[in-house]
Structure 1
Amino acid sequence: MQAKLEPIGAAKTFVRTHFSNCQAALLAGSIVRGEATATSDLDIIIFDDTLVSSYRESFIESGWHIELFAHNLTSYRAFFEQDYRRAIPSLPTMVSEGIILKDSGVITDIKHEARALLDSGPEAWSDETIEMKRYFLTDALDDLIGCTNRAEGLFIAGTLATLVCEFILRTNRQWIGSSKWTYRALDRYDAQVAHELTDALERYYQTNDTEALIRFVDETLSPFGGRLFAGFSRGKPNGT
């Protein structure tokens, strides 16, 4: 088995081997944040003006799983915009937090772009979007309340947790995430609320008691009019 180099050394070796002429390179991810686990990989961002377009590729080198995010000096902006629209700022966060491995003088401006986007927050939800999200939350909540199949209930509870996290964060103009980042985003915004939600989920998973989870969702929806079913409509032609 290949010996595992220390992370910065492994990252620099990767850059020298594959992108010796790039303008800039960053090491990002859990290693940089001090949150690495036994399964953490190296997230390496490359800025190379010879690339026609952005791409992503995976490697195993120097004893590490390596995720490469390759961009030229303008293509990254499309990903910044895409992340802004979906309110999941993956690339801007990596760029902002990233440790500089190489720089020919371009990375400061790119980092400033990333930081400015993160500081601005995502676009506020419209009233129409809030109404639609209330409906989806109500639908998932009704599914949980009426569920008699334990296996189905486990999946419904997971969906409900994701939806209610999104609702809390986006109605407060906060960035969201996916998978583990869903919880991390909520915990960063309001640790007490994150704790209450995880307690409610644990109670359901361990005892099949839905009371705390139902109450949590209802309290989340209450300032926005509560559950929504009757009267919800989308796509109906005017005058009908």
Structure 2
Amino acid sequence: MEESIIELVNQFIKRFYPNASVGMVGGSIIHNQQNRESDIDLLIIDETQESPHLSCYIFEDRKIEAFVFTESALYYQFETARYTGVPTIIKICAEGIIVEDTDDLGGKVKKEAKSTLMNGMAMWSSEDFAKLRYKITDQLYDLRTCKDEGEQLFIVNNLIEGLSELVIRTDGNWMGIGKWRARCLKESNEEVYNKIVQNVDQFFSSHDHKRFSEFVEEILSYYGGELFSNHKEMLF
């Protein structure tokens, strides 16, 4: 990471979070994958803050997303992420570059984050697995009979989200959101990733919803097939 970024972040912390005990920079910028729209992901531990929050800034013409926690709230977020499967904050802590540290708390947090990532998500329950199979099945039923091309786009988007989550979580891997979901799927199962990309591309070119439905059926068949009859789930 460029020295100028470290200097900018240090200035930012001094101005907006002078009581911070830890500051870590993570995200695409530390992997040299940034582009002109990339922001700086910054993890802050500050015991004077009342509650965990995300605050967004434009500082010295750079976009900064500050994820602010107390130490105890951060560890609680780690545990919560094991159930949602989305390790955004954990990855910032595990992979990030420490730019501010008091009493080696940053080192302690980094060690805990790496351990959490390595141990993986909490075991996926059979109820959650069935719920997702049902959700995909329900969207598949809609796509088979949908004649409106605009509505088809939204259904296909839901199916992409559902299928990718099904594959990633069944394999016991962490997920992500947006581009990170795509990267996690590719890492988890590159064959399915390539099939989804190819079939989505074909759908956008031809709007052949029947063909895309058949593709969804194929992927779903690897995980027990469609689920409707006798499905039951708690609503709250």
The normalised TM-score by structure 1 is: 0.89
Aligned to 1:186: 185
Measured in 1, the distance between the counterparts of 2:113 and 2:211 equals: 39
Paired residue type of 2:72: T
Aligned to 2:57: 59
Say whether 1:225 aligns with 2:224: yes
Per-residue deviation, 1:9:
2.3
- Range that drifts further, 105-114 or 210-219: 210-219
Q: How does 1:112-127 map to 2 (within 5 A)?
A: 112-127=111-126
Per-residue deviation, 1:116:
1.1
Say whether 1:216 aligns with 2:215: yes
- Range that drifts further, 182-191 or 123-132: 123-132
The answer to whether the 8 Å contact 2:127/2:233 transfers is no
Q: How does 1:138-157 map to 2 (within 5 A)?
A: 138-157=137-156
Per-residue deviation, 1:212:
4.8
Count residues with an aligned counterpart.
Answer: 232
Measured in 1, the distance between the counterparts of 2:24 and 2:215 equals: 40
- Range that drifts further, 80-89 or 161-170: 80-89
The correspondence for 1:88, drawn from 81, 86, 89, is 86
**Structure 2 runs not aligned, ≥5 long:** none
Paired residue type of 2:222: P
The correspondence for 2:71, drawn from 65, 70, 73, is 73
**Structure 1 runs not aligned, ≥5 long:** none
* Percent identity over paired residues: 28
Query: In angstroms, what is the RMSD of aligned CA positions?
Result: 2.0
Query: Deviation above 4 Å: which 4+ runs of structure 1?
Result: none
Q: Name the SS for the 1:37 alignment partner.
A: coil
- For residues 84-138 of structure 1, the C-alpha deviation after alignment (integer angstroms, 9 at most, x for no partner) is 2211111101111111112121111101111111111112222232222211111
Measured in 2, the distance between the counterparts of 1:129 and 1:50 equals: 37
Q: Name the SS for the 2:71 alignment partner.
A: coil
Say whether 1:202 aligns with 2:201: yes
Per-residue deviation, 1:169:
0.9
The answer to whether the 8 Å contact 2:42/2:67 transfers is yes
